[in-house]
């Protein structure tokens, strides 16, 4: 059996799991408490994780705000900017191929009176930075565009997008959930990015933890937004709630391993994607086509169309040998909005499957396709 649903979630690194355990058993102190050892130990562990995550993202330690994951970070940033800056303008730009945690948040804001532009995409789900620039007005307070697409694996041109937003002096939020650990993400190289979201479980950390990056100015002040959670004022008053110490510790360790292994991971994901691509091509020939056949993409994500075959039925048949998914919470009545935005017909969408690898996937495991 080969697990090829790593864009949905990954297996936690054993080292990350092991480092978490003490914080569930002996070191259960609340990091916001003071003076006694258990509290201090938790606090030290949180700060080590913050440092590890900041290294992975190429940002300052203080710019990392722990959350429960990308869904929360996306909500926090988009709603937080909308509320804090609505007096400056009520226009937000996003794309039609975003994750539902961005799209639904934007739809919510439309109901609250905001004007949201949903940029169309090309056949790989990518937006055109020139069109983005044309859509920016004096009313635009936020651009929210994913770095890499979770269904097709295609990459938006983040260099160009970052430059446009910097030039036009508009906040840029990027949902980087799918690219962390599969691409070099050094925020120093992207001065136009003001906010970023990520989830630990996509890079072999635990579920239910992630972070938001909030850029700080030259005085060390984080870009202000209205908090989503009000309460005890944790995380610099931006994200209240007792920190999930064990999860944050696991995220920190996974970030550290991911950082150390990044070059190997990128190479292995790329090679194994080609290996899988060729295996499928040999096995299925003309009866398949590749929806994500583009050069510049997240390595390790392959979206494949099995012509004339229902994807849900195929996934069920494959399940004893291959764990994969359609790539979205797609039901018979709600086909993938990403593939729809990329121009695929309903029939094409309903015959498409996403295979997503991790750096732990081996060619020997992929050989299961030879036996099918």
Query: What does the alpha-carbon distance between residue 245 and residue 235 come to, in Å, rounded to a whole number?
Result: 13
At closest approach, how far in Å is the CB of 154 from ligand PLP?
A: 12
Shorter beta-carbon distance to ligand PLP: residue 75 or 194: 75
Shorter beta-carbon distance to ligand PLP: residue 69 or 125: 69
What is the strand order of the sheet 352-356 is part of? 288-290, 301-306, 352-356
Q: Which DSSP letter does residue 59 get?
A: S
Query: Is 250 among the residues that bind ligand PLP (CB under 6 A)?
Result: no
Shorter beta-carbon distance to ligand PLP: residue 92 or 146: 146
Structure tokens at 336: 């993938």
Structure tokens at 159: 């260099």
Contact 125, 338 (CB under 8 A): yes
Give the DSSP H/E element, type plus range, for residue 248: helix 245-284
Query: Is 129 among the residues that bind ligand PLP (CB under 6 A)?
Result: no
User: Residues with Cβ < 8 Å from 62, sequence gap 6 or more?
Assistant: 216, 220, 222, 236
User: Residues with Cβ < 8 Å from 141, sequence gap 6 or more?
Assistant: 81, 82, 85, 86, 88, 89, 90, 91, 92, 170, 171
At closest approach, how far in Å is the CB of 365 from ligand PLP?
A: 22
Sign of the C-alpha dihedral computed for residues 60, 66, 70 and 74 taken in this order: negative
Shorter beta-carbon distance to ligand PLP: residue 101 or 256: 101
At closest approach, how far in Å is the CB of 77 from ligand PLP?
A: 12
Shorter beta-carbon distance to ligand PLP: residue 57 or 146: 146
β-bridge partners, 212: 65, 197
At closest approach, how far in Å is the CB of 273 from ligand PLP?
A: 18
First vs last C-alpha separation in the chain = 11
At closest approach, how far in Å is the CB of 6 from ligand PLP?
A: 11
Give the DSSP H/E element, type plus range, for residue 338: helix 337-341
Shorter beta-carbon distance to ligand PLP: residue 101 or 154: 101
Contact 36, 176 (CB under 8 A): no
Binding ligand PLP (rule: CB under 6 A), the pick from 70, 258, 328, 351 is 70
Binding ligand PLP (rule: CB under 6 A), the pick from 105, 117, 140, 150 is 150
Choose, from 106, 198, 211, 330, the residue flagged as catalytic: 330
Interface with ligand PLP (CB under 6 A), residue total 12
Shorter beta-carbon distance to ligand PLP: residue 70 or 258: 70
Binding ligand PLP (rule: CB under 6 A), the pick from 99, 182, 337, 354 is 99
Report how far apart, in Å, the C-alpha atoms of 145 and of each of 78, 81, 133, 175, 294 are.
11, 15, 13, 7, 19
Query: Is 71 among the residues that bind ligand PLP (CB under 6 A)?
Result: yes
- Identify residues 156-195 at the interface with ligand PLP (CB under 6 A): 175, 177-178
330 as an active site residue: the answer is yes
- Identify residues 10-69 at the interface with ligand PLP (CB under 6 A): 69
Cα–Cα–Cα angle for 77, 10, 327, rounded to 5 degrees:
70
Query: What does the alpha-carbon distance between residue 214 and residue 60 come to, in Å, rounded to a whole number?
Result: 10
At closest approach, how far in Å is the CB of 337 from ligand PLP?
A: 13
At closest approach, how far in Å is the CB of 146 from ligand PLP?
A: 5
Binding ligand PLP (rule: CB under 6 A), the pick from 174, 199, 268, 359 is 199
Where does this chain bind ligand PLP (CB under 6 A)? 69-71, 99, 101, 146, 150, 175, 177-178, 199, 201
Instruction: Return the active site residues.
Output: 330
């Amino acid at each position: 059996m080969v697990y090829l649903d790593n864009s949905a979630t990954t297996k936690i690194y054993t080292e990350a799991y092991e480092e978490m355990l003490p914080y569930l058993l002996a070191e259960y102190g609340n990091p916001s408490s003071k003076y006694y050892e258990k509290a201090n130990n938790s606090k030290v562990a949180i700060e080590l994780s913050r440092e590890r995550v900041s290294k992975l993202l190429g940002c300052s330690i203080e710019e990392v705000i722990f959350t429960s994951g990308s869904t929360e970070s996306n909500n926090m940033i988009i709603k937080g900017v909308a509320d804090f800056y609505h007096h400056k303008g009520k226009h937000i730009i996003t794309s039609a191929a975003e994750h539902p945690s961005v799209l639904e948040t934007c739809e919510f804001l439309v109901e609250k009176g905001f004007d949201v532009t949903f940029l169309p995409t090309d056949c790989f789900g990518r937006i055109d930075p020139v069109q983005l620039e044309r859509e920016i007005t004096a009313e635009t307070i936020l651009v929210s565009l994913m770095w890499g697409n979770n269904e097709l694996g295609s990459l938006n041109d983040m260099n160009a997008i970052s430059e446009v937003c910097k030039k036009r002096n508009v906040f840029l939020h990027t949902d980087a959930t799918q690219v962390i650990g599969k691409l070099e993400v050094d925020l120093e190289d992207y001065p136009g990015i003001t906010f970023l979201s990520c989830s630990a479980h996509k890079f072999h950390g635990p579920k239910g933890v992630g972070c938001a990056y909030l850029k700080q100015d030259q005085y060390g002040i984080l870009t202000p937004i209205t908090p989503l959670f009000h309460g005890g004022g944790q995380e610099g008053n931006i994200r209240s709630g007792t920190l999930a110490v064990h999860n944050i510790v696991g995220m920190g360790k996974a970030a550290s391993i991911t950082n150390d292994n990044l070059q190997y991971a990128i190479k292995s994901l790329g090679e194994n994607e080609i290996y899988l691509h060729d295996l499928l091509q040999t096995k299925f020939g003309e009866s398949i086509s590749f929806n994500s056949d583009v050069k510049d993409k997240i390595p390790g994500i392959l979206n494949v169309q099995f012509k004339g075959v229902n994807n849900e039925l195929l996934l069920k048949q494959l399940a004893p040998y291959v764990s994969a998914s359609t790539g979205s919470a797609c039901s018979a009545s709600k086909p993938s909005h990403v593939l729809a935005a990329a121009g695929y017909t309903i029939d094409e969408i309903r015959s498409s499957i996403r295979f997503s690898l991790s750096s732990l996937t081996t060619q020997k495991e992929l050989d299961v396709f030879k036996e099918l």
